[in-house]
Amino acid sequence: MIFSKAEWGSLVFINKALVCFSEASGLVLNSAKSHIFYGNVAQPLKRRIFDLLQVKEGIIPVRYLGIPLVATKLGLKDCQAFMEIILRKVNAWTSNYLSFGGRLQLLLSTLFSIQVFWCRTFILPVSVVNKCESILRSFLWFGVGDAKKAGKVAWSKVCHPKDERGLGIKSLREWNKAAIMQLGWDIVARKDTLWVRWCMQVLLKNKCFWETKISAASSWSWRSVLRLRECLASKLVFNIGDGRNTSLWLDPWFYGQSLISRFGGRVVYDAGIP
């Protein structure tokens, strides 16, 4: 997948790179299986791009590595494939011959691993979370994915660690939040990844992650990360050390809050400390 601005010079450069790659490797771009997705691009430019690259225009939403790429907030329809995968897995097993313990182990291993990839990418809609938990609950208690009967124990109690009298099943809703907060932590920790570097330069513009305002122009996924900052800060313990990597005013080292959010910007001005 290649991202680019709809600028003619950039597209010519991409085309030259593809030609060089083809000459060096012997691999040729399959135009029939390739698409270009535009964002507010005029028709004349689209025609010029097609003449250059010979790649037809695609339509959003589209799936990439099994994940839907959408321009708006994720909806129930976009997650239909995700729910069908879980239901298909449940129905494929000879559940009638499995004990309760066997079903629990399958749920903890195979079914939970299916959710991880999606949960680390999006905040799933409430309707999707409820449907998935309904399938898992039905499979655990009755061996099928669509039983209409209620479980023997409330799902909220089942989703507790075993030492708290639960079954060790992770709540999909809480796991989803934790997975998205991990993205926020990667930014705070300045993890050396392409995604973090892109967020710092393009989204944050090297400003403080904790104090960046949620813009109406921000993508839905980015807003999801920013909205969980307060929850993330409450889980962190700051080790200031020599202070080189900690902002006195902006980092939430003071009981889970930053000084500027607790006392306001005036305190920064009055203190005279940068």
Whole-number pLDDT of residue 95: 56
CA gap 16, 22 in Å, rounded:
10
Whole-number pLDDT of residue 29: 86
In degrees rounded to 5, what are phi and psi of residue 80? Answer: -60, -40
Whole-number pLDDT of residue 199: 92
Question: For residue range 21-54, what is the model confidence (pLDDT) as tens digits?
Answer: 999 999 888 888 889 988 888 899 999 999 998 8
- Residue 218: how many CB atoms within 10 A of its CB? 15
Residue 255 confidence (pLDDT) above 80: no
Mean pLDDT, the chain, rounded, equals 85
Question: For residue range 61-112, what is the model confidence (pLDDT) as tens digits?
Answer: 788 877 888 777 888 888 888 888 888 888 876 556 788 888 888 888 887 8
| Residue whose tokens read 């399938």 | 135
- Residue 238: how many CB atoms within 10 A of its CB? 13
Whole-number pLDDT of residue 193: 93
Whole-number pLDDT of residue 274: 63
Confidence of residue 187 (pLDDT cuts 50, 70, 90): very high
pTM for the full model? 0.74
204 vs 267, more confident: 204
Question: For residue range 134-184, what is the model confidence (pLDDT) as tens digits?
Answer: 888 888 888 877 777 777 888 888 899 999 989 999 888 999 999 999 999
Confidence of residue 3 (pLDDT cuts 50, 70, 90): confident
